[in-house]
C-alpha cells in the first residue's frame, strides 16, 4: 500500500511540468496561436519589406510659363513623379501629403521650393529636384562618383526583424502563457486545492516555467527554419548560443509572467497588467526598428528593459556571430530579471481567494 521509492517521472516537479504540457498540447487552438502567429508575422512583414518598390517621390510644379522646362528636368530621374498644378492646388496637395514638394519657377533663373521640413520624404525630394534642375541647367560635378547597391542576406530588414520577432515571441509566450494559466487555475480554485496538499509552492511555479521553456523550443525552431527557407535568413553565430538565449529569455519572461499574475483574480485584470508591462517593450526594445532612434536620455532606461538585452544578444549572435562571453552584461541582466521576479512572485503569490 505505501511506497516511498520515487522514480524521476513521479516527482512533483516532473508531474507538474507534464500536466502543463499535456494541457497545452490538448488545446489545438492555443497551439495554433502560439506557434503560427509569429510565422504569420514574419510572412506579412517579410513580404511587405522584401520587394520594396522603387520609392516614388511626388513633386508638383506650379503652373507658369517656365513650368514645362522644370517638369522636363525633373522627369529625367525615374523616381520623380512630377505634374503641373495651379498654385493653390499645389499648396493643398502638399498640405494633405499628396505631394512631397512644390517647385515654383519665378523666372528663368530663379526657382523656389516649398516643403515640410519635418517630413523626410520632402527633404529628399528637395535635394533630388534641386540636383535635376541644376544638371539640366548645365552643372557638372567636379568629382565623378559611382554607386553599387547591396542587398546581401544579413543586412536586409528581414534579417533585422527575425531576431526581434524571436524576442517578441519569447516575451508574449512567457507572459500570456504563464499569466493566463495561473489566473485560470486561481478562478477554478485549483490553486487553493493544490496548497491544501504538501506540494512545494516553488516547485509548482518552477513546473510552470519549465513547461514554458519546452513549449518555446518548437516555436523558435519553426520560426528560424521558416525564415531561413523563405527569406534566406542566416544564423552567423552558433546554434548552441541561440538555444541558450532562447531558454534564458523564456525563463526571464516566465518569471515576469508569474509576477504579473501573482495577485490577479480575473482574466481582465491580468490582461490589462500584461499589456501594461509589454507595451513599453513593444515600442522601445527594438523589435521592429532600432531603439537607437530614441533620444539619448532614455537610452539607459531602454537598455534595462527585460526585452532589450534579449533582442540585442539574439541579433548579435544571429547577425554578427558574437560569442556569448562577449554578451555577459546582457545575460546577467536577463538572469536578474528572471530570478528577481520569480522570487518576488513566490513571496506575494495569492494562493487562496
Partner 1 sequence: MQFAIRCQNLVKTYRGKPPVEAVKGLDLEVLPGECFGVLGPNGAGKTTTIEILEGLLAPTSGSVEVLGMSWDTQADAIRQRMGVSLQETQLSERLTVRETMQLFRSFYRSGMTVDEAIELVALSEKANAWVKNLSGGQKQRLAVATSVVGDPDILFLDEPTTGLDPTSRRQLWDIIRSFRERNKTILLTTHYMEEAERLCDRVAIVDSGRIIAIGTPRELISSLGAEHVIEFMTNSDLGSSDDGASFDWLKSLPSVDRIESDHSHHRIIAGEPHAVLPALFAELKQRDLRLANLTTRHASLEDVFVSLTGRHLNEN
Choose one: 4-12, 98-106, 124-132, 252-260; the region binding partner 1 (CB under 8 A).
4-12
- Residue whose C-alpha cell is 506579412: 44
Lookup: cell for 257: 509572467
> φ and ψ at 260, to 5 degrees?
-60, -40
Interacting span for partner 1 (CB under 8 A) from 192-200, 285-293, 303-311, 313-321: 192-200
Q: DSSP class of residue 196?
A: T
Coil vs helix vs strand at 253: helix
Q: Is 95 among the residues that bind partner 1 (CB under 8 A)? A: no
Q: Tell me, rounded to whole angstroms, the distance of Cα 58 from its chain centroid.
A: 31
In Å, how far from its chain's centre is CA 306?
13
If binding is defined by CB under 8 A, does position 3 make contact with partner 1? yes
Contact 208, 179 (CB under 8 A): no
CB closer to partner 1 out of 187 and 344: 187
Q: Does 128 bind partner 1 (CB under 8 A)?
A: no
User: Out of 1, 143, 150, 297, which residue is the one contacting partner 1 (CB under 8 A)?
Assistant: 1
Q: Taking contact as CB under 8 A, which single stretch among the options 11-19, 70-78, 117-125, 305-313 is the one that binds partner 1? A: 11-19
Residue 69 phi/psi, 5-degree rounding, is -60, -45
Which residues, in sequence order, are CB contacts of 322 under 8 Å at separation 6+?
A: 237, 313, 316
170 vs 261 by CB, closer to partner 1: 261
C-alpha cell at 313: 544578444
Binding status of residue 19 toward partner 1 by CB under 8 A: yes
Q: Which of 40, 44, 190, 326 binds partner 1 (CB under 8 A)?
A: 190
Q: Does 4 bind partner 1 (CB under 8 A)?
A: yes
Separation of alpha carbons 204 and 181, rounded Å = 12
Out of 76, 193, 268, 320, the only residue in the binding site for partner 1 (CB under 8 A) is 193
Grid coordinates belonging to 118 = 519635418
In this structure, what C-alpha cell is assigned to residue 55? 520609392
Taking the least distance from each CB to partner 1, the nearer of 93 and 192 is 192
CA 16, distance to chain mean position in Å, is 32
Query: What is the smallest separation between the CB atom of 29 and partner 1, expressed in angstroms?
Result: 12
Cα separation, 117 vs 97, in Å, equals 13
Beta-carbon contacts of residue 346 (< 8 Å; ≥ 6 apart):
201, 202, 205
Contacts of 186 by beta carbon, 8 Å cutoff, 6+ apart: 264, 265, 350, 353
By the rule CB under 8 A, 11 interacts with partner 1: yes
Report the residue number, 123 or 214, with the smaller CB distance to partner 1.
214
Smallest gap from Cβ 199 to partner 1, in A, equals 4
Q: Which of residues 23-42 bind partner 1 (CB under 8 A)?
A: 23, 26-27
Nearer to partner 1, 151 or 352 (CB): 352
Three-state DSSP state, 133:
helix
Contacting partner 1 (CB under 8 A), which of 66, 93, 192, 350? 192
Tell me how many residues contact partner 1 (CB under 8 A).
29
Which of 48, 188, 272, 289 is in the footprint of partner 1 by CB under 8 A? 188
- Choose, by CB under 8 A, the member of 84, 87, 136, 195 that binds partner 1: 195
Cα–Cα nearest to 203, from 19, 25, 4, 26: 19
Window contacting partner 1 (CB under 8 A); options: 15-23, 57-65, 92-100, 121-129:
15-23
Residue 348 engages partner 1 in binding (rule: CB under 8 A) = no
Alpha-carbon radius of gyration of the chain: 28
Smaller CB separation from partner 1, 83 or 199: 199
15 near partner 1 (CB under 8 A):
yes
Contacts with partner 1 by CB under 8 A lie at 1-4, 6, 10-12, 14-16, 18-19, 22-23, 26-27, 188-190, 192-199, 352
Amino acid at each position: 500500500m505505501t511506497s516511498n521509492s520515487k522514480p524521476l517521472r513521479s516527482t512533483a516537479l516532473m508531474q507538474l511540468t507534464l500536466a502543463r504540457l499535456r494541457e497545452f498540447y490538448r488545446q489545438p487552438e492555443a497551439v495554433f496561436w502560439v506557434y503560427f502567429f509569429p510565422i504569420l508575422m514574419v510572412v506579412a512583414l517579410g513580404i511587405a519589406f522584401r520587394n520594396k518598390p522603387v520609392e516614388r517621390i511626388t513633386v508638383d510644379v506650379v503652373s507658369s510659363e517656365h513650368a514645362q522646362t522644370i517638369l522636363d528636368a525633373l522627369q529625367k530621374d525615374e523616381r520623380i513623379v512630377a505634374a503641373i498644378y495651379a498654385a493653390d492646388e499645389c499648396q493643398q496637395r502638399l498640405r494633405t501629403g499628396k505631394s512631397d514638394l512644390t517647385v515654383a519657377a519665378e523666372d528663368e533663373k530663379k526657382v523656389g521650393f516649398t516643403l515640410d521640413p519635418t517630413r523626410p520624404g520632402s527633404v529628399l525630394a528637395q535635394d533630388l529636384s534641386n540636383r535635376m534642375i541644376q544638371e539640366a541647367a548645365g552643372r557638372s560635378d567636379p568629382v565623378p562618383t559611382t554607386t553599387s547597391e547591396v542587398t546581401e542576406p544579413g543586412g536586409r530588414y528581414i534579417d533585422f526583424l527575425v531576431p526581434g520577432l524571436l524576442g517578441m515571441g519569447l516575451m508574449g509566450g512567457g507572459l500570456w502563457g504563464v499569466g493566463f494559466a495561473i489566473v485560470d487555475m486561481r478562478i477554478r480554485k485549483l490553486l487553493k486545492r493544490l496548497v491544501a496538499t504538501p506540494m512545494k509552492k516553488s516547485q509548482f511555479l518552477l513546473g510552470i516555467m519549465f513547461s514554458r521553456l519546452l513549449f518555446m523550443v518548437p516555436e523558435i525552431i519553426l520560426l528560424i527554419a521558416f525564415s531561413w527557407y523563405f527569406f534566406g535568413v542566416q544564423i552567423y553565430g552558433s546554434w548552441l548560443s541561440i538555444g541558450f538565449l532562447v531558454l534564458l529569455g523564456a525563463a526571464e519572461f516566465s518569471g515576469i509572467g508569474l509576477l504579473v499574475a501573482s495577485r490577479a483574480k480575473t482574466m481582465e485584470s491580468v490582461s490589462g497588467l500584461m499589456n501594461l508591462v509589454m507595451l513599453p517593450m513593444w515600442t522601445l526594445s527594438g523589435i521592429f526598428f532600432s531603439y537607437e532612434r530614441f533620444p539619448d536620455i532614455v537610452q539607459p532606461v531602454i537598455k534595462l528593459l527585460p526585452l532589450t538585452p534579449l533582442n540585442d544578444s539574439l541579433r548579435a549572435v544571429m547577425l554578427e556571430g558574437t560569442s556569448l562571453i562577449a554578451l555577459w552584461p546582457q545575460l546577467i541582466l536577463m538572469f536578474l530579471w528572471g530570478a528577481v521576479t520569480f522570487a518576488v512572485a513566490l513571496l506575494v503569490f495569492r494562493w487562496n481567494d
